[in-house]
Chain A
Amino acid sequence: MADLLSIKDLVIEATSYPPGEKPRTVTLVDGVSVSLEKGRVLGLIGESGAGKSTIGLAAMAYGRGGVRLTGGEVRLNGRNIRGAGAVTLRELRGREVTYVAQSAAAAFNPAKKLMEQVIETCLLHKIMTRPAAEARAVELFRKLGLPNPEGFGNRYPHQVSGGQLQRAMTAMALCPKPDLVIFDEPTTALDVTTQIEVLAAIKEAIHDQGVAAIYITHDLAVVAQVADDIMVLRHGKTVEYGPTDQIINRPGQAYTQALVSVREIAHVEKPDAAPILTVDAVTARYKGTNFDVLKRVSVAVAPGQTLAVVGESGSGKSTLARAITGLLPAGQGAITFAGRCLSPDLAGRSRDDLRELQMIYQMADTAMNPRQTVGTIIGRPLEFYFGLKGAEKAKRVAELLDQIEMGKGFAERYPAELSGGQKQRVCIARALAAKPKLIICDEVTSALDPLVADGILKLLLELQAREGVAYLFITHDLATVRAIADKIAVMYRGEVVRYGQKSDVLSPPFDDYTDLLLSSVPEMRLGWLEEVLGRRRMESAGN
């Protein structure tokens, strides 16, 4: 059978404009070849910047921003579409190939009803009449497990949840009966408990409709559940390309092996000790609301140890961090730190309270002033808390840079000149500069590629061993929890539903929510998704 999509020696370039230098051409994708038959699913996997999305969009002959498809060929249904005219491309986009974006919340037009957007392609290309398209959309809503399929289309994007929007986006892509659908990280922005449902819905829909798909993700465990073949990409080049079974179970390349084994840091928990931070029955709500975001939350952190706070978005884990730091004053309850009772709001805290309690954020990018050098950023707490100046300050900055495994040459650089992992390291150094007793880490590895995140976790553990600093580690990722925690608190809807030593929390018997959470984490083996869903179906049938 002829291939539906065949990409040969594709070269994709863009022009980069480094500040103060001449514009230069950078190669984003270099000589990649792909072939895809009707009804098959190809997984594209790699770190950010590997060129996965760029290749996915190239299948629609689309270059984001100034991206240009400069070499090779992209054959769709037998004809080369690279360099085709605008009219030809408009004809095939939406008719032959459709696209599911990473953030459905941003990819839907906020001013239009979902139904209008879902059937727009069908009407535009005159694939079906309006009644037929609406009927098909409702049918897809039902298949994808959306609530009230008949009425769902009458809602606006802001009126439904993120998981529902992602499914609506899938319905939008499938509605015009395309030959090929590009899924660009469709579940990355979702909680694990939602991800598993969306993943299952997408997989079923692909098979039902008999379409081919390109599934782009950075999560190998996810792609292993849906793809027939996998291509591993790095720096715009193919590292390895083969059937899913072979890539997961018998990876040929060292890079693929590293990706497969990345989730296996072993961390032995330390025995419980007298706490340095105690949060006792803390309740908090945001101004102007009458709803408690934290409901009588009690946890404790021992010196030199890590408490991991786990939960999905909206569970209150970041709010807990805000209550501890005083950014959101707790309504009730007490927070004791290093033997002192902390004032609920920031204004009532001493300078030592502030110094000994530091915070690192998810988005290292926005947590640094882009107009300051790394040296200034790290030097600021040294000056503020310890009054260091001149050579003394520079010496300490160099020491801190050494601790985060970056050379002292980095002191002169600006944040924009650093990679994602390096930026997060600078943020760690800035927190360390205050010589804190406790650092609150809010999803510090969530925005990073797995291998880079791994490096950050190892660094945090080393620093803990050397400096004896305690961490309150907020995350939604259970692999990260296993790698770093001594104690775990599982949060759900503002309450701590499970709390204790890591080994106790992660061993059965589980409460319902923890069970759901743990079993939803994708595992790196074929057939895991069907196994979990089958088990859940049997359990609910048994009840």
Chain B
Amino acid sequence: MHPLITLVVQRIALGLILLLAVSVLIFLGVEALPGDTAQAILGQGATPETLANMRESLGLNEPAISRYFTWLGHALTGDFGVALTNKIDIAQAIGQRLGNTLFLAACAGVIAVPFAIGLGLLAARHNGRWPDKLISGVTLAAISLPEFVAAYFVIYLLTQVFPVLQPVSMVFPGMGFLERLHAVALPVIVLVMVVLAHMMRMTRAAILNVMQSPYIETAELKGLSPMQVIWRHALPNAVAPIVSVVVINLAYLVVGVVVVEVVFSYNALGQYLVDHVTKRDLPVVQAVGLIFAAVYIGLNIFADVVGIVANPRLRHPK
């Protein structure tokens, strides 16, 4: 078998093992909290008898290990149970919000990734001169603002000063694609501002690192222009570090944007999670935690695999 396939399969297997380990951690973490689901459901009015009955009916008297496997087995088949607070099926509730989350992340990513890499290349091309300093300065300023400050700033600018957008990003089932795009425009602008600097700076650093190599001099002595040198000779050798930082930011766009969701009243997974954490709705917390972990690990495996495939020594062994 081609050694590349072995490596990729190994990486994916490692990711799955990691995900399993994370599921154990999530389960144990919830276990370690004082009180249990029965108490959470019955609340203040619980008597020892009702608690015992509830525990019996929820299967809480089983040993932790068998409860873990029951939970995992159900989760794997897409059954996360029902939320304690409103008795709504968790999988169904998550499904719709996950779609919203991914839509927002995808919109921000599609704009931010090419933009950040392009700016990074441009900054590397003009290393140390004014375009580099300008790009670094502006992106750094954008990342230094807390998300909610950036959000309110953008709202003020685009709904008050230039009233072209509405300040809330309500989405609902049955909305058309263009309508949705219009609705998420403001949060997308904020998220792009937030993730741009990190990716742009890493692209610039990775390119500049490669620019030290002797083969860059070879390319210059062939008569290539600076941008041709960067595009044809530096970028192919900087793919792995750039992809890994892009992926970290994409993962952030999926799992870490609750503040932006709240500011724009965007109904997505982050808000859903935080709501249920405050209500101590443990099955929901577990389910969303597991999904976030899967997204995070999946994206990072993707970056690893791209890094492996981009390496000619692994792709074409001697």
Contact = CB atoms under 8 A, between A and B. Distances in A.
Interface string A59-98: 0101010000000000000000000000001111111001
Nearest to A158: B313
Contact of B221 (A93, A106, A112): A93
B213 interface: yes
A156 interface: yes
Given A62-B221, A93-B223, A109-B215, 12 more contacts: A93-B221, A93-B222, A94-B221, A101-B218, A109-B233, A109-B237, A110-B313, A111-B310, A111-B312, A124-B222, A155-B316, A158-B316
B222 A120 contact: yes
Interface in B268-318: 310, 312-313, 316, 318
7 contacts: A62-B220, A93-B220, A103-B214, A107-B217, A108-B218, A110-B312, A111-B310
Nearest to A64: B217
A419 interface: no
Contacts of B140: none
Given A101-B217, A106-B214, A121 B316 contact: no
A94 B222 contact: yes
A245 B317 CA distance: 47
A109 to B, nearest CB: 4
A95 B310 CA distance: 31
Contact of A112 (B220, B223, B236, B313): B236
Interface of B: 213-215, 217-225, 228, 232-233, 236-237, 310, 312-313, 316, 318
Given A101-B218, A109-B236, A159 B318 contact: yes
A91 B318 contact: no
Contacts of B318: 158-159
A121 B312 CA distance: 22
Of B215, B313, B318, chain A has the most CB atoms within 10 Å of the CB of B215
A64 B218 CA distance: 11
A156 B316 contact: yes
Given A103-B214, A107-B215, A109-B236, A158 B221 contact: no
Contacts of A183: none
B220 A110 contact: no
A91 B223 contact: yes
Nearest to B239: A111
A106 B222 contact: no
B224 A124 contact: yes
A5 B236 CA distance: 36
B223 A121 contact: yes
Contacts of A120: 222, 224, 232
Contacts of A103: 214
A158 B311 CA distance: 11
A215 interface: no
Contacts of A89: 223
Contacts of B218: 99, 101, 107-109
A111 B237 contact: yes
B223 A90 contact: yes
Contacts of B312: 110-111, 156, 158
B302 to A, nearest CB: 20
Interface size class of A (residues with CB under 8 A): 20 to 34
Contacts of A111: 236-237, 310, 312
Nearest to A157: B312
A95 B215 CA distance: 18
Nearest to A91: B223
A541 to B, nearest CB: 33
B313 A94 contact: no
Nearest to A121: B222
Contacts of B225: 90
A122 to B, nearest CB: 10
A125 interface: yes
B317 to A, nearest CB: 8
Contacts of B232: 120
A438 B138 CA distance: 62
Given A109-B236, A111-B237, A158-B312, A94 B215 contact: no
A125 B220 CA distance: 13
Given A103-B214, A108-B215, A159-B318, A98 B221 contact: yes
A120 B237 CA distance: 17
A101 B225 CA distance: 20
A109 B232 CA distance: 10
A109 B219 contact: yes
A111 B218 CA distance: 14
Nearest to B315: A156
Nearest to B310: A111
A99 B223 CA distance: 11
Given A107-B214, A111-B312, A112-B236, A99 B221 contact: yes
In the A-B complex, the 8 residue pairs with the closest CB atoms: A94-B223, A93-B223, A111-B236, A106-B214, A94-B222, A90-B223, A109-B215, A99-B221
Nearest to B316: A156
A109 B238 CA distance: 12
B238 to A, nearest CB: 10
B316 A95 contact: no
B215 A90 contact: no
A53 to B, nearest CB: 11
A95 B221 CA distance: 10
Nearest to A97: B221
A246 B213 CA distance: 39
A484 B6 CA distance: 51
Nearest to A62: B221
A372 B316 CA distance: 43
Of B219, B225, B236, B310, chain A has the most CB atoms within 10 Å of the CB of B219
A91 B233 CA distance: 19
A525 B139 CA distance: 64
Nearest to A103: B214
Contacts of B213: 106
A98 B228 CA distance: 18
Contacts of A64: 217
A64 B220 CA distance: 11
Contacts of B224: 90, 120, 124
A299 B225 CA distance: 56
Of B228, B310, B312, B318, chain A has the most CB atoms within 10 Å of the CB of B312
Given A106-B213, A107-B215, A108-B215, A125 B223 contact: yes
Nearest to B226: A86
Nearest to B236: A111
Nearest to A106: B214
Contacts of B237: 109-111
Of B217, B218, B233, B310, chain A has the most CB atoms within 10 Å of the CB of B218
A98 B222 CA distance: 7
A402 B112 CA distance: 64
Nearest to A159: B318
Given A91-B223, A106-B214, A159 B236 contact: no
